Amino acid sequence: MASVTEYIKESYIELTQKVTWPTWRELQNSAVLVLIAAIIIAMIIFGMDQVIGYLLNQFYTSLA
């Protein structure tokens, strides 16, 4: 049980004294960047889906 207590103490010290936490402004900038990247990727996937759907529709209607 002593090893678990020691682990928790060392983890607390590392989190409070050794980890460099981002500032609120850096965190906001990163969140905006991730949001923009997710929107761009979603738009690309949506466009690819629309093109492939159109091509498949044209292919299947040409067979009939």
Which pLDDT band, with edges at 50, 70 and 90, does 2 fall under?
A: confident
3-state secondary structure of 23: coil
- Compute φ and ψ for 9, nearest 5 degrees: -60, -45
Question: What is the average pLDDT across 51-58?
Answer: 97
2/49: higher pLDDT: 49
**pLDDT given for residue 62 in this prediction:** 93
Query: Residue 6 in contact with residue 14, Cβ under 8 Å?
Result: no
| % helix, strand, coil for the chain, step of 5 | 90, 0, 10
Closest C-alpha to 42, from 32, 34, 31, 54 = 34
pTM over cut 0.75? no
**pLDDT given for residue 64 in this prediction:** 73
Amino acid identity, residue 64? Answer: A
